[in-house]
Structure 1
Amino acid sequence: MLDIFISNKDGAATPVWQVRSGEVQDWCTSHAGAAAAWVGTSGFKGEAGKVLLLPDGSGGLAGVLLGLGDGSDPLLTGALPAALPQGDYRLAGALHGAPADAAFGFALGTYRFTRYSGSKRDWPRLILPEGVNGEEISRIAAATFMARDLINTPAADMGPADLAAAAEAVAGAHGATCDVILGDALLDADYPMIHAVGRASTVAPRLIDMRWGRADAPRVTLVGKGVCFDTGGLDLKPSSAMLLMKKDMGGAACVLALAQLVMAAGLDVRLRVLIPAVENSVAGNAFRPGDVLQSRKGITVEIGNTDAEGRLVLADALAEADSEAPDLIIDMATLTGAARTALGPDLPPFYTDEEGLAAEIASSAAATSDPVWRMPLWRPYDGWLDSKIADVNHVSDGPFAGSVTAALFLRRFVERAAAYVHFDIYGWAPKAKPGRPVGGEAQGVRALYDLLKRRYGA
């Protein structure tokens, strides 16, 4: 369990009250005295994420108020660790939202990316609310931090080889196997599109393949886009669009975080993780617009734009995942700007044909305060991917429904799996919120972990 959590309910701890913006006066009325007077003096209005320290009569700390604003953000306890002096604290009064969210939010507030600057600090401690499993919250926080660290690390230190090393470390910690198919061996093993996308880089492309769990357990396969940097290829991105391309392996980071949670919890699954790890670079041997690529599935793919490389490497990995006819395939990818245009950075879309699975995902997302939104695999748009010279073009020739057509392209490579879902995540927090600094973010991981626990937990 993280050392920021304590389960001792008997020790002395400073109370923290959560108040919405319309409840401040009610709190003052029920807590008359110097602390209540200080609320008025300070001008505290219960603004979201605002923390007010309440003095006692001798200059000590009598308590803390945490503003919740309109109460729509369940993770505002993330504001507390950086604002509180060291010591032990407890959530007092009526809690707004789930106690587990309050504890998880507090944990998020301790995250710092310190690989290149900064240092570890001592944090205040929180007495776990009644009924909250501190070990579980700690595991989820640790997985979230790992995903954030992987995404935040620049491509010079998080290239395909480094991503493979990170996957091997996760596998080794849990007794999983991890095999890597490297460079030209991808051609021998029939992963031509992974090879084509990554061959122009000085760091060889590779396919990471992790397996864990008893052989006859239900099969769950996770596929994560591991484009460690994306120049756009010969369809070169403008420099401003390259600034965040270290995050283009966010799907891989998220499936590794999810895999870590599954293995740490000992869920009864035969887990497989497939990560095509590449850099989409520019060189004389880069794949070109107008090229026709062979795919592992046998489908020929016309290249409409080399900056839509993620769906190509995913397609080969999905074809391999599908070859085992698993019970469930989940892919996660920082795939399209169109998804962000449609839903913004905080609400990742997902696509599936399975109504039951969609309902499960929605339920788990609500239960974990990890928002996602179902989008349609709208079959009439499938024709937008027609090619005159190949089986399919991997992009449409118009500006509309880019996330939908990308999902439809990927869907062609999955036929045998009992269920399949595609997540088009952003993997990045562009605006700071309590416990969620600007930088890499694990999206959809908590929701999917909850779904897998419900299905395959003890």
Structure 2
Amino acid sequence: MPFRFADPQADALPLHLVDSATLADWLATQPETVSAWVEANGFTGAIGEALILPGEAGKPSAALAGYGTFKARRRSRFALAAAAPRLGARTYRIASGLPPEAAAEEALGWLLATYRFTRYAGSEAAAPALIAPEGVDAARIEILAEAEALTRDLVNTPASDMGPQELEEAARALATEFGAAIEVTSGAALKENFPMIHAVGRASPRAPRLIDLRWGSEGPAITLVGKGVCFDTGGLNIKPGSSMGLMKKDMGGAANVLGLARAIMALGLKMRLRVLIPAVENAVSGDAFRPQDILTSRKGLTVEINNTDAEGRLVLADALALADEETPELIVSMATLTGAARVAVGPDLAPFYTDDEPLAAALSLAGTDAADPLWRMPFWEPYEAKIEPGIADLDNAPAGGMAGSITAALFLRRFVTESPRYVHFDIYAWNPAPAPARPKGGVGQGPRAILGALSQVFEL
């Protein structure tokens, strides 16, 4: 479905955002009939409340959306989006109550709240439409919403219909839409040039591959690397059923970089964009890679396999090594990499790692501005010894279980040695419970913040 604002000339119902702390003051400015109607319907202005006000001949004259309190809004992103589904399939124009500094966030939330995943069941239900608030960049917000929808669709699609081939097809469709070049390495060439990607994916009948998309001819070189493990059984260290149930989302890093790439290309940002996606299925068969195997990576570093369920960092490592060979100004990796990150910050926050202080500051600020919250984590040097097993250069799964997200990030950093800036995101890519503008299911984490940081750091 298109994520678009309504025609500014459309017939629209005035929509008032009412803060619960100032509801009484607002009612004091209204006719007695309005005050009586609002009180009779128990409208308090809480986030998520909505009420249509009657006019002449029973026709609606306006609508109210609860905007909570300042404290409540701090605890809930996209407050307006909480009310949108309760307003009915009309067109609305915000008449009052929207702080100018919140207009872009609330407008984006409205569009994101119209997302539905209907590939297998249901239909596109009519949704309330909004005329873009004054002062916002409506075209940019629409692009951000469409990019997020792409990410959600990819993550929500089950592995039966989203294997390495289908992920490649999604990248090819994006390349065709925006005139990007794309190359895919598979078969013998993958085994020779990207041995760890091949090792992880070789047990599956769905062939592993490396997807390489390029777009743009001027500006800074930015390379995005996304983990594309389309399903993760855990390999021979097989996951229990309770842990395997959500593994269709293990390609969430790939889905996020494709959504981010879509936004970059649709916005026409001046950069030389490259997207690398190692696409594999970590399956179980007689050809599966084994615990205690030692793999030699594209970069030449050897890796002892101490857990075949720590496969994401292996496929990312080969892709990062390729990215680093061109020394782009920035490499970004995104992956649903560790459960440790979820334990540390939960599903809402996207932890990131970088040694670049200006980039870290730009990301943190942009995350707040774009309602795309991040949390910086440390590349903690004293833990380097944990990923050095002695028998090989690196250990893919250090014993002990502590600092799992940090040691995974340190592992990946070993494969970026030439490029001046590197940032790694250990994301969840899944919303476990419905929230305003974020239904249960696949979700983007980090792309809007990255866009904002790119604009600041590289003056795009």
Q: Name the TM tier (shorter chain).
A: over 0.9
Between 1:292-301 and 1:80-89, the stretch displaced more is: 80-89
| Residue of 113, 117, 122 corresponding to 2:117 | 113
Residue 447 in structure 1 maps to residue 449 in structure 2: yes
Query: Could you tell me which residue of structure 1 aligns to residue 25 of structure 2?
Result: 26
What residue in structure 1 maps to residue 12 of structure 2?
A: 13
Q: 1:456 Cα deviation (Å)?
A: 4.9
Aligned to 1:160: 164
User: Structure 2 CA distance, aligned partners of 1:52 and 1:323?
Assistant: 58
- Check if 1:205 corresponds to 2:204: no
- Do the aligned residues in 1 keep the contact of 2:362 with 2:456 (CA within 8 Å)? no
Task: Write the distance in 2 (CA, Å) between the matches of 1:434 and 1:84.
Answer: 14
Q: Which residue of 2 aligns with 1:177?
A: 181
Which residue of structure 1 lines up, in the alignment, with residue 348 of structure 2? 346
Distance 2:51 2:295 in 1: 60
- Are 1:15 and 1:63, in contact at CA under 8 Å, matched by a contact in 2? yes
Kindly provide the amino acid, as one letter, of the partner of residue 187 in structure 2.
G
- What secondary structure, in the 3-state scheme, does the structure 1 residue paired with 2:435 have? coil
Structure 1: distance between partners of 2:39 and 2:97: 22
C-alpha deviation, 1:79, in angstroms = 3.1
The match for 2:290 among 288, 292, 298 is 288
Counterpart Cα distance in 2 of 1:48 and 1:208: 43
Q: Paired residues, what number?
A: 455
What's the counterpart of residue 336 of structure 1? 338
Aligned to 2:48: 49
Superposed CA offset, 1:353-412 (max 9, x none): 000110111121121111001011111111111213111101221121111111011011
| Higher mean C-alpha displacement, 307-316 vs 175-184 | 175-184
> Are residue 187 (structure 1) and residue 191 (structure 2) matched?
yes
Task: Return the letter of the residue paired with 2:37.
Answer: W
How far is the alpha carbon of 1:48 from its aligned partner?
2.1
Q: For the Cα contact (< 8 Å) 1:268–1:456, is it kept in 2?
A: no
- Offset at residue 427 of structure 1 (A): 0.1
Distance 1:399 1:74 in 2: 33
Quote the Cα distance in structure 2 between the aligned partners of 1:390 and 1:37: 76
- Please tell me the root mean square deviation across aligned C-alpha atoms, in Å: 1.7
Asked if the contact 2:47–2:82 (Cα under 8 Å) also holds between the matched residues in 1, the reply is no
Deviation at 1:106, TM superposition (A): 0.8
Structure 1: give runs of 5+ residues left out of the alignment. none
Query: Cα offset for 1:7?
Result: 5.0
Inter-CA distance 3–200: structure 2 relative to 1 (3 Å threshold): closer
Q: Which of 305, 319, 322 is equivalent to 2:321?
A: 319
Q: AA paired with 2:419?
A: A
Which ranges in structure 2 are unaligned for 5 or more consecutive residues?
none
Alignment of 1:25-424 (within 5 A): 25-56=24-55, 58-69=57-68, 70-72=72-74, 73-96=76-99, 97-188=101-192, 190-214=193-217, 217-424=219-426
Q: CA deviation at 1:290?
A: 1.1
**Mapped partners of 1:64, 1:372: distance in 2:** 34
* Deviation sequence 1:314-345 (CA, Å, 0-9, x none): 00100100011110000100111111101010
- Matched position secondary structure for 2:159: coil
Distance 1:449 1:266 in 2: 12
Name the % identity: 54
Question: How far does the alpha carbon of each residue in 1:398-432 deviate from its partner, in whole angstroms, 9 at most, with x for none?
Answer: 12111111101101110111100000010000010
Report the 3-state secondary structure (helix = DSSP H, G, I; strand = E; otherwise coil) of the residue aligned with 2:148. Answer: helix
Moved more, 133-142 or 423-432: 133-142
Mapped to 1, the partners of 2:173 and 2:42 lie a distance apart of 50
Secondary structure of 1:49's match? coil
Secondary structure at 2:328's aligned position in 1?
coil
| Alpha-carbon shift at residue 248 of structure 1 (Å) | 0.4
How many Å separate the matches in 1 of 2:16 and 2:366? 28
- For residue 3 of structure 1, report the CA deviation from its aligned partner: 6.8
CA separation in 1, counterparts of 2:287 and 2:228? Answer: 20
Distance in 1 (alpha carbons) for counterparts of 2:46 and 2:204: 49
1:96-137 deviation line (CA, Å, top 9, x unaligned): 452111111110111000111122233332121111122111
TM normalised by structure 1 equals: 0.95
Please tell me whether the aligned partners of residues 108 and 141 of structure 2 are also in contact (alpha carbons under 8 angstroms): yes
**1:280-332 C-alpha deviation (Å, 9 max, x unpaired):** 10001111111111111111001111111101100010010001111000010
